[in-house]
A and B are shown apart, each in its own frame.
Chain A
Amino acid sequence: MSTVVLLTITGLGLGAMYFLIASGLSLIYGLMGVLNFAHGAFLTVGAYGAWYVESKLGGVAVLPRFLIAALAGLVIGGVFAALVELVLIRPLYKRHIEQVLVTVGLGLSASALVVAIWGNDARPVAAPTWLGNTTTVAGAHIPNDRWVEILTAVVVLIGLNTFLRRTRYGLIIRAGVENRAMVTALGIDVRQAFTLVFAIGGIAAAIAGVLSSVYFGTVDPARGTSLLIFAFIVVVIGGLGSLRGTAIAAVVVALVQQYANYYASSGLGDLSVVLLLGIVLLLRPGGLSRSFA
Protein backbone atom coordinates (compact mmCIF):
# COMPACT_ATOMS: atom_id res chain seq x y z
CA MET A 1 0.00 0.00 0.00
CA SER A 2 2.74 2.43 0.93
CA THR A 3 4.47 1.68 -2.39
CA VAL A 4 1.32 2.53 -4.30
CA VAL A 5 0.93 5.76 -2.33
CA LEU A 6 4.58 6.67 -2.90
CA LEU A 7 4.43 5.94 -6.61
CA THR A 8 1.17 7.83 -7.01
CA ILE A 9 2.21 10.98 -5.18
CA THR A 10 5.70 11.14 -6.68
CA GLY A 11 4.05 10.46 -10.03
CA LEU A 12 1.72 13.39 -9.45
CA GLY A 13 4.76 15.51 -8.63
CA LEU A 14 6.37 14.53 -11.92
CA GLY A 15 3.05 15.14 -13.67
CA ALA A 16 2.97 18.59 -12.15
CA MET A 17 6.27 19.42 -13.79
CA TYR A 18 5.13 18.01 -17.11
CA PHE A 19 1.99 20.13 -16.91
CA LEU A 20 3.97 23.29 -16.15
CA ILE A 21 6.14 22.83 -19.23
CA ALA A 22 3.39 21.50 -21.47
CA SER A 23 0.72 24.10 -20.63
CA GLY A 24 2.61 26.93 -22.30
CA LEU A 25 3.53 24.74 -25.24
CA SER A 26 -0.11 23.78 -25.73
CA LEU A 27 -1.35 27.36 -25.59
CA ILE A 28 1.36 28.57 -27.96
CA TYR A 29 0.58 25.93 -30.54
CA GLY A 30 -3.17 26.20 -30.08
CA LEU A 31 -3.21 29.96 -30.60
CA MET A 32 -0.34 30.55 -32.93
CA GLY A 33 0.27 27.25 -34.68
CA VAL A 34 3.94 27.50 -33.62
CA LEU A 35 5.67 24.26 -32.68
CA ASN A 36 8.05 25.84 -30.21
CA PHE A 37 11.11 23.60 -30.05
CA ALA A 38 12.80 26.32 -27.98
CA HIS A 39 10.39 25.80 -25.09
CA GLY A 40 12.98 23.74 -23.25
CA ALA A 41 15.26 26.77 -23.42
CA PHE A 42 12.69 28.74 -21.40
CA LEU A 43 12.97 26.08 -18.70
CA THR A 44 16.77 26.15 -18.81
CA VAL A 45 16.94 29.95 -18.76
CA GLY A 46 14.50 30.11 -15.85
CA ALA A 47 16.36 27.44 -13.88
CA TYR A 48 19.78 28.95 -14.45
CA GLY A 49 18.47 32.45 -13.83
CA ALA A 50 17.15 31.37 -10.45
CA TRP A 51 20.34 29.46 -9.63
CA TYR A 52 22.53 32.43 -10.60
CA VAL A 53 20.52 34.94 -8.54
CA GLU A 54 20.51 32.55 -5.60
CA SER A 55 24.30 32.23 -5.80
CA LYS A 56 24.61 36.03 -5.48
CA LEU A 57 22.45 36.32 -2.36
CA GLY A 58 25.01 34.91 0.03
CA GLY A 59 24.02 36.95 3.09
CA VAL A 60 20.32 36.12 2.92
CA ALA A 61 18.64 33.27 4.83
CA VAL A 62 17.91 30.12 2.84
CA LEU A 63 14.13 30.38 2.50
CA PRO A 64 13.88 34.03 1.38
CA ARG A 65 16.97 33.48 -0.80
CA PHE A 66 15.24 30.57 -2.51
CA LEU A 67 11.99 32.49 -2.96
CA ILE A 68 13.71 35.61 -4.34
CA ALA A 69 15.77 33.48 -6.70
CA ALA A 70 12.69 31.57 -7.82
CA LEU A 71 10.85 34.81 -8.52
CA ALA A 72 13.83 36.11 -10.47
CA GLY A 73 13.89 32.90 -12.49
CA LEU A 74 10.21 33.34 -13.39
CA VAL A 75 10.71 36.93 -14.49
CA ILE A 76 13.79 36.02 -16.52
CA GLY A 77 11.95 33.12 -18.16
CA GLY A 78 8.92 35.24 -18.99
CA VAL A 79 10.92 38.16 -20.39
CA PHE A 80 13.12 35.82 -22.41
CA ALA A 81 10.08 34.11 -23.91
CA ALA A 82 8.42 37.43 -24.77
CA LEU A 83 11.60 38.63 -26.47
CA VAL A 84 11.83 35.40 -28.45
CA GLU A 85 8.32 35.99 -29.77
CA LEU A 86 8.93 39.64 -30.60
CA VAL A 87 12.33 39.22 -32.22
CA LEU A 88 12.34 35.76 -33.77
CA ILE A 89 8.78 34.48 -34.16
CA ARG A 90 6.86 37.59 -35.16
CA PRO A 91 8.86 38.27 -38.33
CA LEU A 92 8.09 34.72 -39.45
CA TYR A 93 4.32 34.54 -38.86
CA LYS A 94 3.40 33.21 -42.27
CA ARG A 95 6.49 31.04 -42.71
CA HIS A 96 5.89 27.97 -40.62
CA ILE A 97 8.91 25.94 -41.68
CA GLU A 98 11.26 28.83 -40.93
CA GLN A 99 9.53 29.31 -37.57
CA VAL A 100 10.16 25.70 -36.61
CA LEU A 101 13.79 25.90 -37.73
CA VAL A 102 14.34 29.09 -35.74
CA THR A 103 12.95 27.49 -32.58
CA VAL A 104 15.10 24.39 -33.08
CA GLY A 105 18.14 26.61 -33.55
CA LEU A 106 17.31 28.66 -30.49
CA GLY A 107 16.86 25.55 -28.38
CA LEU A 108 20.28 24.27 -29.38
CA SER A 109 21.91 27.68 -29.01
CA ALA A 110 20.51 28.30 -25.55
CA SER A 111 21.91 25.02 -24.25
CA ALA A 112 25.24 25.68 -25.92
CA LEU A 113 25.41 29.17 -24.41
CA VAL A 114 24.71 27.84 -20.92
CA VAL A 115 27.43 25.22 -21.38
CA ALA A 116 29.84 27.87 -22.64
CA ILE A 117 29.23 30.05 -19.58
CA TRP A 118 28.78 27.52 -16.79
CA GLY A 119 30.11 24.27 -18.23
CA ASN A 120 28.50 20.94 -18.98
CA ASP A 121 28.34 19.65 -15.41
CA ALA A 122 25.21 19.83 -13.32
CA ARG A 123 25.45 22.44 -10.56
CA PRO A 124 24.00 21.80 -7.09
CA VAL A 125 21.07 23.94 -5.99
CA ALA A 126 20.61 25.24 -2.45
CA ALA A 127 17.04 24.79 -1.32
CA PRO A 128 15.31 25.01 2.08
CA THR A 129 16.06 21.93 4.17
CA TRP A 130 12.37 21.19 4.58
CA LEU A 131 12.07 20.44 0.88
CA GLY A 132 14.56 17.63 1.20
CA ASN A 133 12.75 16.03 4.14
CA THR A 134 9.84 13.62 3.88
CA THR A 135 6.26 13.50 5.09
CA THR A 136 4.70 10.15 5.89
CA VAL A 137 1.36 9.33 4.28
CA ALA A 138 -0.15 5.84 4.73
CA GLY A 139 3.30 4.51 5.49
CA ALA A 140 4.92 6.11 2.47
CA HIS A 141 7.69 8.65 2.97
CA ILE A 142 6.96 11.37 0.43
CA PRO A 143 9.70 13.92 -0.33
CA ASN A 144 8.29 17.32 0.55
CA ASP A 145 9.28 18.90 -2.73
CA ARG A 146 6.66 16.72 -4.44
CA TRP A 147 3.93 18.47 -2.43
CA VAL A 148 5.29 21.84 -3.53
CA GLU A 149 5.30 20.73 -7.16
CA ILE A 150 1.74 19.46 -6.98
CA LEU A 151 0.49 22.54 -5.17
CA THR A 152 2.29 24.85 -7.60
CA ALA A 153 0.82 23.08 -10.61
CA VAL A 154 -2.68 23.27 -9.12
CA VAL A 155 -2.25 26.99 -8.43
CA VAL A 156 -0.96 27.58 -11.96
CA LEU A 157 -3.83 25.55 -13.45
CA ILE A 158 -6.42 27.51 -11.46
CA GLY A 159 -4.67 30.77 -12.28
CA LEU A 160 -4.48 30.04 -15.99
CA ASN A 161 -8.07 28.87 -16.06
CA THR A 162 -9.23 32.01 -14.26
CA PHE A 163 -7.19 34.16 -16.64
CA LEU A 164 -8.66 32.43 -19.69
CA ARG A 165 -12.25 32.55 -18.40
CA ARG A 166 -12.39 35.95 -16.70
CA THR A 167 -10.17 38.35 -18.61
CA ARG A 168 -10.47 39.94 -22.05
CA TYR A 169 -7.08 38.61 -23.10
CA GLY A 170 -8.20 35.19 -21.96
CA LEU A 171 -11.28 35.54 -24.14
CA ILE A 172 -9.12 36.57 -27.08
CA ILE A 173 -6.81 33.59 -26.57
CA ARG A 174 -9.71 31.11 -26.30
CA ALA A 175 -11.30 32.52 -29.45
CA GLY A 176 -7.96 32.69 -31.24
CA VAL A 177 -7.32 29.00 -30.57
CA GLU A 178 -10.51 28.31 -32.53
CA ASN A 179 -10.21 30.83 -35.33
CA ARG A 180 -7.42 33.36 -35.36
CA ALA A 181 -8.47 35.04 -38.60
CA MET A 182 -11.96 35.74 -37.28
CA VAL A 183 -10.52 37.32 -34.13
CA THR A 184 -8.54 39.67 -36.37
CA ALA A 185 -11.69 40.34 -38.39
CA LEU A 186 -13.30 41.61 -35.19
CA GLY A 187 -10.70 44.36 -35.01
CA ILE A 188 -8.44 42.69 -32.46
CA ASP A 189 -4.65 42.81 -32.79
CA VAL A 190 -3.83 39.21 -31.97
CA ARG A 191 -0.10 39.91 -31.96
CA GLN A 192 -0.35 41.26 -28.42
CA ALA A 193 -2.05 38.04 -27.40
CA PHE A 194 0.76 36.09 -29.08
CA THR A 195 3.43 37.87 -27.04
CA LEU A 196 1.40 37.39 -23.87
CA VAL A 197 0.96 33.67 -24.53
CA PHE A 198 4.68 33.29 -25.09
CA ALA A 199 5.39 35.16 -21.85
CA ILE A 200 2.92 32.96 -19.96
CA GLY A 201 4.50 29.88 -21.48
CA GLY A 202 7.93 31.15 -20.52
CA ILE A 203 6.90 31.79 -16.93
CA ALA A 204 5.28 28.37 -16.60
CA ALA A 205 8.36 26.69 -18.09
CA ALA A 206 10.59 28.70 -15.75
CA ILE A 207 8.50 27.50 -12.80
CA ALA A 208 9.10 23.97 -14.03
CA GLY A 209 12.80 24.80 -14.32
CA VAL A 210 13.00 26.01 -10.73
CA LEU A 211 11.03 23.03 -9.43
CA SER A 212 13.02 20.55 -11.48
CA SER A 213 16.21 21.95 -9.99
CA VAL A 214 14.77 21.13 -6.56
CA TYR A 215 13.45 17.73 -7.75
CA PHE A 216 16.85 16.68 -9.12
CA GLY A 217 18.91 18.79 -6.72
CA THR A 218 20.83 20.39 -9.59
CA VAL A 219 20.59 22.66 -12.62
CA ASP A 220 21.66 20.98 -15.83
CA PRO A 221 21.99 22.44 -19.34
CA ALA A 222 20.41 19.35 -20.89
CA ARG A 223 17.37 19.19 -18.65
CA GLY A 224 15.20 21.50 -20.70
CA THR A 225 15.63 19.39 -23.80
CA SER A 226 15.04 16.08 -22.01
CA LEU A 227 11.84 17.31 -20.34
CA LEU A 228 10.67 18.96 -23.57
CA ILE A 229 10.23 15.58 -25.21
CA PHE A 230 7.77 14.52 -22.54
CA ALA A 231 6.08 17.91 -22.74
CA PHE A 232 5.41 17.36 -26.44
CA ILE A 233 4.02 13.91 -25.70
CA VAL A 234 1.73 15.37 -23.04
CA VAL A 235 0.54 18.13 -25.38
CA VAL A 236 -0.26 15.72 -28.18
CA ILE A 237 -2.05 13.28 -25.87
CA GLY A 238 -3.93 16.06 -24.13
CA GLY A 239 -4.95 17.83 -27.31
CA LEU A 240 -3.28 20.89 -28.78
CA GLY A 241 -4.63 24.10 -27.30
CA SER A 242 -6.51 22.41 -24.45
CA LEU A 243 -5.42 23.33 -20.94
CA ARG A 244 -7.65 20.74 -19.33
CA GLY A 245 -6.45 18.05 -21.73
CA THR A 246 -2.85 18.98 -20.95
CA ALA A 247 -3.43 18.69 -17.20
CA ILE A 248 -5.06 15.28 -17.49
CA ALA A 249 -2.47 14.00 -19.95
CA ALA A 250 0.39 15.18 -17.71
CA VAL A 251 -0.97 13.17 -14.80
CA VAL A 252 -1.61 10.08 -16.94
CA VAL A 253 1.82 10.17 -18.58
CA ALA A 254 3.66 10.65 -15.30
CA LEU A 255 1.75 7.90 -13.51
CA VAL A 256 2.25 5.46 -16.39
CA GLN A 257 5.95 6.27 -16.34
CA GLN A 258 6.28 5.82 -12.58
CA TYR A 259 4.32 2.57 -12.41
CA ALA A 260 6.01 1.06 -15.47
CA ASN A 261 9.47 1.93 -14.14
CA TYR A 262 8.71 0.29 -10.81
CA TYR A 263 6.53 -2.70 -11.65
CA ALA A 264 7.94 -3.61 -15.06
CA SER A 265 11.53 -2.50 -15.39
CA SER A 266 13.51 0.69 -14.84
CA GLY A 267 13.65 2.41 -18.21
CA LEU A 268 10.41 0.85 -19.46
CA GLY A 269 8.58 3.91 -18.23
CA ASP A 270 9.73 5.97 -21.21
CA LEU A 271 8.76 3.19 -23.63
CA SER A 272 5.35 2.90 -21.99
CA VAL A 273 4.75 6.60 -22.50
CA VAL A 274 5.59 6.37 -26.17
CA LEU A 275 3.26 3.36 -26.53
CA LEU A 276 0.55 5.35 -24.80
CA LEU A 277 1.10 8.16 -27.30
CA GLY A 278 0.74 5.72 -30.17
CA ILE A 279 -2.48 4.27 -28.76
CA VAL A 280 -4.04 7.69 -28.22
CA LEU A 281 -3.08 8.84 -31.71
CA LEU A 282 -4.65 5.73 -33.21
CA LEU A 283 -7.86 5.94 -31.22
CA ARG A 284 -8.22 9.69 -30.73
CA PRO A 285 -6.00 11.65 -33.16
CA GLY A 286 -7.18 14.93 -31.71
CA GLY A 287 -6.06 13.94 -28.22
CA LEU A 288 -7.96 13.49 -25.00
CA SER A 289 -9.41 17.01 -25.11
CA ARG A 290 -12.10 15.81 -27.51
CA SER A 291 -13.38 13.65 -24.66
CA PHE A 292 -13.46 16.54 -22.28
CA ALA A 293 -14.63 19.36 -24.60
Chain B
Amino acid sequence: MAALLAVDNLHVHLGEAHVLQGISFEVPEGGVTALLGRNGVGKTTTLRALLGLVDRRGRVELEGVDISRTATHKIVRHGVGYVPEDRDVFAGLTVDENLRLAERDAEPQYALVYDLFPELKARGKQLAGTLSGGQQQMVAIARALLNRNRVLLVDEPTKGLAPLLVTEVARVLERVSELTTVLLVEQNLGVVAQVARDVVVLDTGRVVHIGPAKELLADKPMVHRLLGVGRA
Protein backbone atom coordinates (compact mmCIF):
# COMPACT_ATOMS: atom_id res chain seq x y z
CA MET B 1 0.00 0.00 0.00
CA ALA B 2 1.40 3.44 -0.94
CA ALA B 3 2.58 5.67 1.89
CA LEU B 4 0.55 8.86 2.17
CA LEU B 5 2.75 10.21 4.94
CA ALA B 6 6.40 9.23 5.33
CA VAL B 7 8.49 10.21 8.34
CA ASP B 8 12.24 9.65 8.26
CA ASN B 9 14.71 10.19 11.09
CA LEU B 10 12.63 12.87 12.82
CA HIS B 11 14.27 14.61 15.79
CA VAL B 12 12.65 17.12 18.14
CA HIS B 13 14.27 18.91 21.05
CA LEU B 14 12.03 20.71 23.54
CA GLY B 15 14.28 22.73 25.80
CA GLU B 16 16.92 20.34 27.07
CA ALA B 17 14.84 17.24 26.34
CA HIS B 18 15.48 15.18 23.21
CA VAL B 19 11.84 14.18 22.84
CA LEU B 20 11.90 12.50 19.43
CA GLN B 21 15.10 10.60 18.73
CA GLY B 22 15.08 9.86 15.05
CA ILE B 23 11.66 8.26 14.56
CA SER B 24 10.75 6.80 11.17
CA PHE B 25 7.43 5.36 10.05
CA GLU B 26 4.91 5.50 7.24
CA VAL B 27 1.16 6.09 7.21
CA PRO B 28 -0.46 4.15 4.37
CA GLU B 29 -3.28 5.73 2.44
CA GLY B 30 -6.75 4.96 3.73
CA GLY B 31 -7.94 3.76 7.13
CA VAL B 32 -6.62 4.58 10.57
CA THR B 33 -3.03 4.25 11.76
CA ALA B 34 -2.82 4.51 15.54
CA LEU B 35 0.19 6.06 17.23
CA LEU B 36 0.48 4.43 20.64
CA GLY B 37 2.72 4.57 23.69
CA ARG B 38 2.84 5.37 27.37
CA ASN B 39 2.42 8.91 28.63
CA GLY B 40 5.28 11.22 27.75
CA VAL B 41 6.87 9.14 24.98
CA GLY B 42 6.37 11.81 22.31
CA LYS B 43 3.07 10.98 20.61
CA THR B 44 1.64 14.50 20.71
CA THR B 45 5.05 15.93 19.86
CA THR B 46 5.10 13.70 16.78
CA LEU B 47 1.81 15.14 15.50
CA ARG B 48 2.95 18.68 16.26
CA ALA B 49 6.25 18.03 14.51
CA LEU B 50 4.47 16.71 11.40
CA LEU B 51 2.58 20.00 11.29
CA GLY B 52 5.67 22.10 11.91
CA LEU B 53 4.29 23.45 15.18
CA VAL B 54 7.61 22.58 16.85
CA ASP B 55 11.11 22.87 15.46
CA ARG B 56 12.22 19.57 14.01
CA ARG B 57 15.03 17.89 12.09
CA GLY B 58 14.49 15.08 9.66
CA ARG B 59 12.30 14.42 6.68
CA VAL B 60 8.52 14.43 6.37
CA GLU B 61 6.85 13.70 3.05
CA LEU B 62 3.18 14.05 2.17
CA GLU B 63 2.29 12.18 -1.01
CA GLY B 64 5.96 12.19 -1.95
CA VAL B 65 6.34 15.96 -1.46
CA ASP B 66 8.90 17.06 1.11
CA ILE B 67 7.15 19.25 3.71
CA SER B 68 10.01 19.21 6.22
CA ARG B 69 10.68 22.94 5.80
CA THR B 70 7.15 24.00 4.94
CA ALA B 71 5.33 26.50 7.16
CA THR B 72 2.46 25.10 9.22
CA HIS B 73 -0.33 26.96 7.45
CA LYS B 74 0.94 25.71 4.08
CA ILE B 75 1.15 22.12 5.34
CA VAL B 76 -2.45 22.37 6.46
CA ARG B 77 -3.45 23.82 3.09
CA HIS B 78 -1.82 20.83 1.41
CA GLY B 79 -4.61 18.79 3.02
CA VAL B 80 -3.60 18.00 6.59
CA GLY B 81 -6.37 18.38 9.15
CA TYR B 82 -5.63 18.57 12.86
CA VAL B 83 -7.67 17.76 15.95
CA PRO B 84 -5.47 18.78 18.88
CA GLU B 85 -5.24 17.23 22.32
CA ASP B 86 -7.32 19.37 24.72
CA ARG B 87 -9.50 20.50 21.80
CA ASP B 88 -8.18 24.09 21.62
CA VAL B 89 -11.49 25.59 20.56
CA PHE B 90 -11.65 29.37 20.64
CA ALA B 91 -13.67 29.99 23.77
CA GLY B 92 -14.56 33.60 22.95
CA LEU B 93 -15.95 32.70 19.53
CA THR B 94 -19.32 31.09 18.91
CA VAL B 95 -19.62 27.56 17.54
CA ASP B 96 -20.48 29.00 14.11
CA GLU B 97 -17.45 31.29 14.24
CA ASN B 98 -15.15 28.43 15.23
CA LEU B 99 -16.34 26.51 12.19
CA ARG B 100 -16.25 29.50 9.86
CA LEU B 101 -12.68 30.22 10.85
CA ALA B 102 -11.69 26.70 9.83
CA GLU B 103 -13.13 26.98 6.31
CA ARG B 104 -10.53 26.44 3.59
CA ASP B 105 -12.38 24.84 0.69
CA ALA B 106 -14.67 26.74 -1.65
CA GLU B 107 -17.48 24.40 -0.52
CA PRO B 108 -17.00 23.43 3.12
CA GLN B 109 -18.65 20.17 4.15
CA TYR B 110 -21.26 21.52 6.53
CA ALA B 111 -23.72 18.81 5.50
CA LEU B 112 -21.29 16.11 6.68
CA VAL B 113 -20.44 18.01 9.87
CA TYR B 114 -24.07 18.58 10.86
CA ASP B 115 -24.97 15.01 9.94
CA LEU B 116 -22.30 13.75 12.33
CA PHE B 117 -22.92 16.41 14.98
CA PRO B 118 -26.48 17.77 14.70
CA GLU B 119 -26.08 19.42 18.09
CA LEU B 120 -23.57 21.89 16.65
CA LYS B 121 -26.21 23.34 14.35
CA ALA B 122 -28.54 23.93 17.29
CA ARG B 123 -25.76 25.54 19.34
CA GLY B 124 -24.34 27.68 16.55
CA LYS B 125 -24.70 30.98 18.41
CA GLN B 126 -23.37 29.62 21.70
CA LEU B 127 -19.90 30.63 22.84
CA ALA B 128 -17.57 27.67 22.50
CA GLY B 129 -16.16 28.32 25.96
CA THR B 130 -19.54 27.55 27.51
CA LEU B 131 -19.85 24.12 25.88
CA SER B 132 -19.26 20.88 27.74
CA GLY B 133 -16.06 18.93 27.12
CA GLY B 134 -17.82 16.54 24.79
CA GLN B 135 -19.42 19.35 22.81
CA GLN B 136 -16.06 21.11 22.49
CA GLN B 137 -14.60 17.87 21.18
CA MET B 138 -17.33 17.82 18.55
CA VAL B 139 -16.33 21.34 17.50
CA ALA B 140 -12.66 20.36 17.35
CA ILE B 141 -13.41 17.36 15.14
CA ALA B 142 -15.94 19.26 13.04
CA ARG B 143 -13.37 21.96 12.28
CA ALA B 144 -11.09 19.37 10.75
CA LEU B 145 -13.89 17.67 8.81
CA LEU B 146 -15.17 20.85 7.16
CA ASN B 147 -12.42 20.59 4.57
CA ARG B 148 -11.43 17.73 2.30
CA ASN B 149 -8.15 16.60 3.82
CA ARG B 150 -5.67 14.02 2.59
CA VAL B 151 -4.90 13.04 6.15
CA LEU B 152 -6.30 13.88 9.58
CA LEU B 153 -4.01 14.08 12.59
CA VAL B 154 -6.19 13.34 15.62
CA ASP B 155 -4.77 13.61 19.14
CA GLU B 156 -6.57 11.73 21.92
CA PRO B 157 -10.13 12.59 20.88
CA THR B 158 -11.68 10.56 23.72
CA LYS B 159 -9.58 12.07 26.50
CA GLY B 160 -11.69 13.05 29.47
CA LEU B 161 -14.98 12.02 27.86
CA ALA B 162 -17.78 9.99 29.40
CA PRO B 163 -18.14 6.40 28.09
CA LEU B 164 -21.20 7.26 26.02
CA LEU B 165 -19.30 10.02 24.27
CA VAL B 166 -16.28 7.79 23.75
CA THR B 167 -18.54 5.42 21.82
CA GLU B 168 -19.88 8.34 19.83
CA VAL B 169 -16.39 9.58 18.95
CA ALA B 170 -15.31 6.08 17.93
CA ARG B 171 -18.32 5.87 15.64
CA VAL B 172 -17.42 9.21 14.08
CA LEU B 173 -13.80 8.09 13.59
CA GLU B 174 -14.97 4.96 11.82
CA ARG B 175 -17.12 7.02 9.49
CA VAL B 176 -14.34 9.54 8.89
CA SER B 177 -11.80 6.82 8.14
CA GLU B 178 -13.95 5.82 5.18
CA LEU B 179 -13.47 9.30 3.76
CA THR B 180 -9.85 10.09 4.58
CA THR B 181 -6.66 8.70 6.10
CA VAL B 182 -6.31 9.17 9.85
CA LEU B 183 -3.24 9.18 12.08
CA LEU B 184 -4.70 8.72 15.53
CA VAL B 185 -3.07 9.17 18.92
CA GLU B 186 -5.23 7.30 21.40
CA GLN B 187 -4.84 5.81 24.88
CA ASN B 188 -8.15 3.96 24.81
CA LEU B 189 -7.29 0.55 23.37
CA GLY B 190 -10.96 -0.27 22.93
CA VAL B 191 -11.25 2.60 20.46
CA VAL B 192 -8.01 1.55 18.81
CA ALA B 193 -9.30 -1.99 18.41
CA GLN B 194 -12.51 -0.66 16.86
CA VAL B 195 -11.05 1.74 14.30
CA ALA B 196 -7.32 1.16 13.69
CA ARG B 197 -5.83 -0.97 10.93
CA ASP B 198 -2.16 -0.35 11.72
CA VAL B 199 -0.24 0.74 14.79
CA VAL B 200 3.05 2.53 15.41
CA VAL B 201 4.29 2.28 18.98
CA LEU B 202 6.67 4.80 20.52
CA ASP B 203 8.78 4.46 23.63
CA THR B 204 11.00 7.27 24.99
CA GLY B 205 11.05 9.04 21.64
CA ARG B 206 11.80 6.00 19.49
CA VAL B 207 9.67 3.71 17.34
CA VAL B 208 9.63 0.27 18.96
CA HIS B 209 6.92 -1.51 17.00
CA ILE B 210 5.07 -1.21 13.69
CA GLY B 211 2.43 -3.63 12.53
CA PRO B 212 -1.25 -4.53 12.17
CA ALA B 213 -3.41 -3.36 15.07
CA LYS B 214 -5.19 -6.68 15.48
CA GLU B 215 -1.93 -8.58 15.90
CA LEU B 216 -0.61 -6.27 18.59
CA LEU B 217 -3.86 -6.08 20.53
CA ALA B 218 -4.23 -9.85 20.49
CA ASP B 219 -0.78 -10.23 22.07
CA LYS B 220 -1.41 -9.32 25.71
CA PRO B 221 2.19 -9.70 26.91
CA MET B 222 3.37 -7.42 24.11
CA VAL B 223 0.66 -4.91 24.91
CA HIS B 224 1.81 -4.92 28.53
CA ARG B 225 5.47 -4.63 27.58
CA LEU B 226 5.02 -1.84 25.06
CA LEU B 227 2.15 0.09 26.56
CA GLY B 228 2.23 -0.86 30.23
CA VAL B 229 -1.42 -1.92 30.05
CA GLY B 230 -2.96 -5.11 31.40
CA ARG B 231 -1.10 -8.06 32.87
CA ALA B 232 1.97 -9.70 31.37
Q: How far is the CB of A153 from chain B (nearest CB, A)?
A: 23
Instruction: Tell me if A171 counts as interface (CB < 8 A to partner B).
Output: yes
Name the residue of chain A whose CB is nearest to the CB of B97.
A171
Instruction: Tell me if B93 counts as interface (CB < 8 A to partner A).
Output: yes
Q: Which residues of B contact A181 (CB under 8 A)?
A: 53
Are A185 and B84 CB-contacts (below 8 A) given A171-B97, A171-B101, A172-B101? Answer: yes
Instruction: Tell me if B92 counts as interface (CB < 8 A to partner A).
Output: yes
Instruction: Tell me if A182 counts as interface (CB < 8 A to partner B).
Output: yes
Q: Indicate which residue in B53, B92, B93 contacts A185 across the interface (CB closer than 8 Å).
A: B53
Instruction: Tell me if B88 counts as interface (CB < 8 A to partner A).
Output: yes
Instruction: Tell me if B225 counts as interface (CB < 8 A to partner A).
Output: no
Is A182 within 8 A of B104, CB to CB? no
A3 to B53: give the CA distance in the assembly, Å.
58
1/0 per residue, CB under 8 A from B, across A188-223: the answer is 111000000000000000000000000000000000
- Say which one of B71-79, B163-171, B177-185, B191-199 lies at the interface with A: B71-79
Q: Indicate which residue in A168, A174, A182 contacts B88 across the interface (CB closer than 8 Å).
A: A182
Instruction: Tell me if B116 counts as interface (CB < 8 A to partner A).
Output: no
A185 to B76: give the CA distance in the assembly, Å.
7
Q: Given A184-B72, A187-B73, 10 other A-B contacts at CB below 8 A? A: A168-B100, A171-B97, A175-B97, A177-B92, A182-B84, A182-B90, A185-B82, A185-B88, A186-B82, A188-B101
A to B CB contacts below 8 Å, 26 in the list? A168-B100, A171-B100, A174-B90, A174-B93, A175-B90, A175-B101, A178-B90, A178-B91, A178-B92, A179-B90, A181-B53, A182-B84, A182-B90, A184-B73, A185-B51, A185-B53, A185-B72, A186-B76, A186-B82, A186-B102, A186-B104, A187-B77, A187-B104, A188-B73, A188-B101, A189-B71
Chain A interface (Cβ within 8 Å of chain B)? 168, 171-172, 174-175, 177-179, 181-190, 293
For the complex of A and B, 8 pairs with smallest distance between CB atoms: A187-B76, A175-B90, A182-B88, A184-B72, A187-B77, A189-B73, A185-B82, A186-B102
